[in-house]
A and B are shown apart, each in its own frame.
Chain A
Amino acid sequence: MAGFLARRLASLVFVLWAMTVLVFAVVHLLPGSVAHMILGEYATSAAIAALEERLGLNDPLHLQYWRWFSGLLQGDFGVSLTMDRPAGPVILEALGRSAVLAAISIVLVALAGVALGIHSATHAGSASDRALTLGQYFFIAVPEFFWCILVILFFSVWLGWLPATGYTPLAEGGLLGWAKHLILPVATLVLGLIAHVSRLVRSSMLEALESRYVLAARAKGLPERLVLRRHALPNALMPAITVLAVDVGILIGGIVVVESVFAYPGLGRMLIYAIDNQDLPLMMGGMIVVTAVYALANLAADILYAVVNPRIRVGGAA
């Protein structure tokens, strides 16, 4: 297990480093001068030269990369070009707000997805299973921006129950005010993912229920509840864990869309802002943070997988 962890951590560090190179390369190696990009097409050459001087764009590339990379290692993401603030705290605040959105969503997806999947598998072929299947395919097929518009129309415009956009910090609006702004974004984020995860849990649970060890467990005279909980579920959850990690990636993509539609001030909206305004330090820092979050989610899934799968945890044959 220790060796497994060490290998996974080493590859995590490698992935993050490779991502810094990639992000840097995309921004600096693409045709066109960075300063030109920032100042727009009508900038005077004097202004461009001044900006290049200020940003150190005349230095050799490897020196620029090293400056940025060593800054990252110390937690310094540079200074935002448009806000005149260090980019680090800006990213961190946005990350915090997105993390709330993501954490609530992923917990909901895991709980509801697994629960619905188990229900469908144990009631396979029943009316409720067929209704769920229909709903699941529907929610997988329809993209989240469609739901964004629909729920805003329904709950905000028509019923007026919930705010359509914005964000209230917990300290200002209290629990209710804070939660009101979260309900619609979370709901639109999780619909498709719950459908996805519950489909998968259904099929892996069905496979486990068809297995010989479940037959053997029943032949031992165990009550069905124990057969499900002790014998079928641990094996059925293994593929679900892998898929949840992949879904974190889908969730990040979804967050960018949802934050834009609901004007929720998170990392996704910040990234869009940075791109729109050519705020390079903010953009590069944001991309690195997103990569790190995804890589860490995969690491967590790998560790969780090893915990439930003794073949990885305990290792080879005797």
Chain B
Amino acid sequence: MKSKTLRGYRLALLTCCMAAFPAAVFAAPARHDGVTLTIACENDQFARVLADMAPEFTKATGAKVDVDIMSYPELATKTIADFVGHTKGYDIVTMDIVWSGQFEQAGYTVDLTDWIKRDTAELDLDDIYPSLMHALGGYDGKQVAYPFAGYANVLAYRKDLYEKAGLKPADTMEEHIANIAKLTDKANKIYGFVANGQKGPAAAQDWMQYNMQLGGSILGNDGKPTLNSDANVASLATYKELFDKYAPPGAADYDWGGREESFRQGLVANMQTWSVGAADYDNPKISKVVGEVGIKLPPTAKGVPPQYGIGGWGLAINADISDAEKAAAWDFIKWIDSRPAHKEMNMRGAGSYIRKSELTDPDLLKRYPFLPVVAEAFEKGNGDFRPRIPQYPEIQDALGTAVNAALVGNGDPKSVLDAAQAKVVKLFK
């Protein structure tokens, strides 16, 4: 009798929660009492939202959720250390899509393929972009992570500056570079261009994006690295020229944060960036360019078929944890990726889209009018311009050093890329 009252009480509580907060809707919420899920979470816009929303999952299922927010280098080191040490410190990790190959090869995480098949109806898969399902965790026939936060590479530009100069944002790189030149006004501290120059992942990742737009490629058709191909050398030379002539002086030392800040503070006229940051440009608390920013798809070089960069994060389940924990983790992923919860997440500014319904949602569109651009990028996007292969970390490091060296004049584009190629080619024997 006692247990009956308790159950009734719980049910009432649950109904209460559900009424108060639609994100907690479950078909039939399984209980995971006593389970604690620790999430290793990248410190991106979604991190704080995730931390805020996690208690809802606890209310519905009884599983406690700890969101451990970490910086990128910390996340990379700690999750891998946790996996190779089989220490079960984290149940769920946010996985940068470029780690897919590495995770797949080592078998760190649960292959979700079968579970996805089993729960297809519940997952509402038709609503998730296939490009994201693939890029954010699909690798070599396995699903090492489940899509969670899709980012599209977009061009953010200053409408006011374009208008003043009588220009229109361009669709080809050639015209875009001409625009960049015209918009640069160093005397007034306005720069036409900005990108990451800081040694390491920052420099490597931004250059890979531009490299794709300029017709270069990291891997050849045989899957072997071609870092020093003529096209890549030419694109790095162009990239360097953009830095030297049109970027803020500090850009050679910018990472994502520095780059975003320069745009929000009104220093630059054009910035290619992940769509996740776009919401912040209109936030008067942190931005000086409120209302002046346009978002469009990035330009590509003439003759290069338009390809839009896709990036972001998947949620992966640690393969070492117990079955009960895995089940709870999977339920968490299903919940946070469900239509209502994921929409709620984005309403709170996570900037992390995976569903078609989100990008056409009137509430979200009202707040973030640039969403159709993201939708188009997801439709036609390419998540492999940064090769998601097991050797990616070393390739990224070699490129991160090479690109930064070229930018600061520590070697010409050809010689630095030759050196990088020599380093990574050893990994493909």
Chain B associates with chain A: no
Residues of B within 8 A of A (CB): none
